Chain A
Amino acid sequence: MFSRLPAFFAALLIFLALPIFATEPAPDFTLPTFPDNIEINLKDFKGRVVYLDFWATWCPPCRKSFPWMDEIHERYKDEGLSIIAVTLDKKREQIEQFIKKTEPAFIIAHDPTGRVAKTYQLRAMPTTYLIDRNGHLVMTHTGFRSIDKERLETIIQEQLEK
């Protein structure tokens, strides 16, 4: 009977660890901010819920998501939400024009070669990744439609409450 104990504990451990296996750690990255070119690392945001959004000025749904991201940032920044909006634009001037018009309060990072987008296996624009306080990827969402707003906000709230 005692010879079966290690197997039992191994099974228990695996069972307890399953929730961790359900989500993988979000790949770490280093990117410059826009326009100041300050380097940020994803791992520095551990402890906060990170809304990682990949966008570009030439993508209409991406542009449409900005006012909403501003709202969410305002509402939840003090509860531990950090928004990192990574622009994949290749021309700085276009980003400047857009930033001037929208004046986002959240972090804008710049990935002109798509290096980080590739790491995250980006398939469409925009794509949003939600990363929990432990640095795990809990949600991937492509596109931005008005019907998505409510669902996205609910998932953010859930993660903030953890």
Chain B
Amino acid sequence: MIKTLLFSTFISLVLSACSLEPVQPWDRDLLAQQKMQLVADPLEIYLDEHTYFSKEASSGGQGVGGGGCGCN
């Protein structure tokens, strides 16, 4: 169920990318907001990545570097 919901949201979002509009410098107010950043809460992302790195065989994707513990 979760799988279906997530994949359908993903598809609709990707389709919206087909409409590229130029955004003027003064219209970048929303994109400047903290909550609109690709990594809105760096500590939360770091802690999540650390947790999943110790429990799963995959890592990264969002950036480079790390390694760092004997947990995997």
Answer whether A and B touch in the complex at a CB cut-off of 8 Å. yes
Docked pose: A58 CA to B24 CA in angstroms: 14
Q: How many residues belonging to B are interface residues under a CB distance threshold of 8 Å?
A: 8
In the complex, whether B46 has a CB less than 8 A from a CB of chain A is no
Assess the A58–B29 pair: CB atoms within 8 A. yes
A123 to chain B, nearest CB (A): 6
- Give 10 pairs: A residue, B residue, CB < 8 Å, sorted on A: A56-B26, A58-B28, A90-B29, A111-B26, A114-B24, A114-B26, A114-B27, A117-B24, A122-B24, A125-B28
B63 to chain A, nearest CB (A): 23
- B32–A59 contact, CB under 8 A? yes
Question: Could you say which of B24, B32, B33 contacts A118, with CB atoms under 8 Å apart?
Answer: B24
Whether the Cβ atoms of B26 and A117 lie closer than 8 Å is yes
Question: Does A89 contact B29, Cβ atoms closer than 8 Å?
Answer: yes
Question: What is the total of A-B residue contacts with beta carbons within 8 Å?
Answer: 27
Considering only CB atoms, which chain A residue lies closest to B31 in the complex? A58
In the assembled complex, the Cα of A58 lies from the Cα of B32 at a distance in Å of 6
Q: Tell me if B70 counts as interface (CB < 8 A to partner A).
A: no
- Total interface residues on A, CB under 8 Å, equals 15
Please tell me if A129 contacts chain B, counting CB pairs below 8 Å. no
Cβ A124 vs Cβ B25 within 8 A: yes
Classify the interface of chain A: helix, strand, loop or mixed. loop
Interfacial residues, chain A to chain B (CB-CB below 8 A): 54, 56, 58-59, 88-90, 111, 114, 117-118, 122-125
Residues of chain B within 8 A (CB-CB) of A59 are: 32
B31 to chain A, nearest CB (A): 9
Say how far A139's CB is from chain B's closest CB, in angstroms.
Answer: 19
Structural contact, A58 and B33, CB atoms closer than 8 A: yes
> Bound state CA distance, A54 and B28, in angstroms?
14
Residues of A within 8 A of B25 (CB): 117, 122-125
Which chain A residues lie closer than 8 Å to B24 at the CB level?
Answer: 114, 117-118, 122
5 additional A-B pairs beyond A54-B26, A114-B26, A117-B25, beta carbons within 8 Å, are A90-B29, A111-B26, A114-B24, A117-B26, A123-B25
Which A residue sits closest to B33, measured CB to CB? A58
CA distance A125 to B29 in the complex (A): 11
CB contacts (< 8 Å) of A123 on chain B: these are: 25
Q: Mark B25-54, 1 if CB is under 8 A from A, else 0.
A: 111110011000000000000000000000
